[in-house]
């Protein structure tokens, strides 16, 4: 607990300085004074970020480090949306990037992934939807939404693929991609997000390519014939659906 004392003191100073800036009357105080206070607040936030990261890496188990960073990023994004604060928004992105980097370069390669990793991977999606619904500094920027959406789905895909691949059953990997694609499509349909529907198509297409290029050749002759027949039926059905409902599908995708 003593390790949290510097961080708590810094956060208290930041709150006091923020209250000073918001209650300051531009006519009663010079712009130079307000700029100095804003600079001090920024420096205090940098120090708070350093002490926070130091506490997380020194005193928390590795499996909890990425989730804590991602949850802190979610809190900062919520505050940034409420108060239109660019500094909170920026530091929130830094923490979100740190959590994603920990999952991508360390936690995802663990031989026994846990639910905390999937929680961390879902936070960018939550942040993106929060910004979309409540507004914010990047609400109208397409790149921001695409980056958060793809990072969330990409991290889930990576962790799931490594976990299934460790089992040693290749067909389960193909099936997991298909299932993930279906879930992402359902999320895109429910949230009315085109990027999620496009990613679902990419996942299902990847699963189909893997099935044709890898899995089908591990089956016996009869299994291959049945598989190719089923794939042909599915492709014919998709072609019929697209021809019949192409106008509606274009609006969806």
In a domain, residue 207? The reply is no
Q: Which residue has the higher pLDDT, 62 or 242?
A: 62
> Is 237 a member of any domain?
no
Query: DSSP string covering 39-102, please?
Result: HHHHHHHHHHHHHHHHHHHHHS-HHHHHHHHHHHHHHHHHHHHHHT-HHHHHHHHHHHHHHHHH
- Same-domain status, 120 and 142: yes
Of 151, 167, 183, the domain-final residue:
167
Q: Domain tally for the chain?
A: 2
- Residue 236 has a pLDDT of 74
The set of residues, in sequence order, having a beta carbon less than 8 Å from that of 149 and lying 6+ positions away, is 124, 125, 128, 193, 195, 196, 199
Does residue 104 fall inside a structural domain? yes
Q: What is the pTM of this model?
A: 0.79
CB 95 within 8 A of CB 70: yes
Question: Is 192 contained in some domain?
Answer: no
Taking only the tens place, the pLDDT of each residue in 84-98 is: 778 778 888 999 999
Q: Which domain holds residue 123?
A: 62-167
- The per-residue pLDDT for range 40-61, each reduced to its tens digit, is 777 777 887 888 888 889 888 8
In a domain, 17, yes or no: yes
Q: Are 41 and 14 in contact (CB under 8 A)?
A: yes
Residues 66 and 54 in one domain: no
Out of 141, 167, 193, pick the residue that ends a domain.
167
Around 34, how many Cα atoms within 13 Å sit in the side-chain half-sphere?
12
201 and 253 Cβ atoms separated by less than 8 Å: yes
């Amino acid at each position: 607990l003593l390790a949290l004392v510097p961080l708590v003191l810094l956060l208290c100073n930041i709150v006091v300085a923020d209250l000073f800036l918001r209650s300051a009357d531009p006519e009663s105080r010079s712009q130079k004074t307000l700029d100095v206070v804003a600079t001090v607040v920024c420096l205090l936030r940098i120090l708070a970020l350093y002490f926070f990261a130091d506490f997380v890496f020194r005193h928390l188990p590795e499996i909890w480090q990425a989730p804590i960073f991602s949850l802190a990023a979610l809190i900062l994004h919520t505050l940034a949306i409420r108060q239109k604060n660019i500094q909170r928004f920026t530091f929130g992105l830094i923490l979100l990037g740190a959590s994603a980097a920990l999952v991508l370069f360390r936690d995802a390669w663990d031989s026994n992934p846990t639910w905390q990793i999937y929680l961390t991977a879902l936070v960018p999606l939550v942040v993106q939807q929060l910004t979309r619904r409540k507004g914010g500094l990047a609400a109208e920027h397409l790149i921001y939404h695409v980056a958060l959406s793809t990072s969330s789905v990409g991290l889930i895909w990576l962790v799931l693929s490594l976990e299934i691949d460790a089992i040693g059953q290749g067909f389960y990997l193909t099936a997991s991609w298909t299932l993930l694609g279906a879930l992402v499509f359902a999320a895109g349909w429910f949230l009315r997000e085109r990027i999620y529907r496009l990613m679902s198509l990419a996942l299902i297409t990847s699963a189909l390519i893997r099935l044709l290029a890898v899995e089908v050749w591990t089956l016996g002759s009869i299994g291959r014939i049945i598989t190719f027949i089923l794939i042909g039926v599915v492709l014919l059905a998709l072609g019929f659906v697209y021809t019949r409902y192409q106008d509606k599908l274009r609006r969806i995708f």
